[in-house]
Amino acid sequence: MKKILFIIVTAIVLFGCDKKYYSVNIENKSNRQVFYTYDGKNDSINIDETKIYTNIEAYTQPPKNISDTNKVSSIEIYTNGMTGNYTFLYKGDKDLIKKYYNRNSIEKYIIEVQNLLVDDVYIKADNFICDLSSIDTPLYLFVGANNKSTAIIYTNNPNFLIYKKENNNFAPYSFSALTEWELNKYETPTLIDESFYVSGKLNVTIK
């Protein structure tokens, strides 16, 4: 009886320690180079490139710390539930987002910030805010006292922080300030200035 019990326990230990490994493909369908961390290593992938990762342990977490060439969080990751492969998509590409997710909205918005303070300040939301040019650049968005500024933001659930610029360095704004925001979503992505699509407008007030 003891011998049988020993065999059963040994089998459980051996099979319990048997790890499964897989090959995983990561494909970049976005219009920019992508940087990310996967399987504990930092990596990058070029436009239209596919990378194959072998000997990936089961239940390895998806790629994280994903950003584009300019460190803007403009990239969305699609996970194929059947194959376990990943595809990087540009958040502002309405056609690919529709193809992969079958949805009519994109995570790209106009953000307009109104500053009611008596000080010039800068506002930041991680790396989701960037300028309005064709090449995204991450921003501490400058907003003059009693003035407005406009930019692009790649999230509809931002966490805003307010800064002052002192000696060419950004320091947290030392006075109490309240940031209020409201998102006006469009039914479908709307073309702005004949150059890019957005899914709505984020109106932000600093006071």
Task: Give me the residue spans of the domains in the chain.
Answer: 20-90, 109-206
Lowest mean pLDDT among 95-104, 135-144, 198-207: 135-144
Stretch 27-41: mean pLDDT: 97
pLDDT higher than threshold 90 for residue 9: no
User: Per-residue pLDDT for 163 more than 60?
Assistant: yes
pLDDT digits (tens, 9 = 90+) for 40-50: 999 999 999 99
What is d(CA 182, CA 180) in angstroms, rounded to the nearest whole number?
7
Q: What is the pLDDT of residues 62-94, one digit of tens each?
A: 999 999 999 999 999 999 999 999 999 999 999
Quick check: helix, strand or coil at residue 98?
helix
Q: Are 23 and 54 in contact (CB under 8 A)?
A: yes
Strand (E) positions, the chain?
21-28, 34-38, 41-45, 50-57, 64-68, 75-79, 86-90, 109-115, 121-124, 129-130, 141-143, 147-153, 161-166, 169-172, 179-192, 196-206
Q: In this predicted structure, what is the pLDDT of residue 118?
A: 95
The DSSP result for 10-26, as a single string, is HHHHHHHT---EEEEEE
DSSP H or E segment with residue 5 = helix 2-16
Q: Tokens representing 48?
A: 């239209």
CA torsion sign, 23 to 79 to 77 to 33? Answer: positive
More confident residue, 21 or 46: 46
Q: Name the residue with higher pLDDT: 54 or 168.
A: 54
The tokens for 40 are 């504990």
pLDDT higher than 70, residue 193: yes
Contacts of 24 (CB under 8 A, 6+ apart): 52, 53, 56, 60, 84, 85, 86
Residue 138's pLDDT is what?
81
Architecture of domain 109-206: Sandwich (2.60)
**pLDDT digits over 106-139, tens only?**
999 999 999 999 999 999 999 999 998 767 778 8
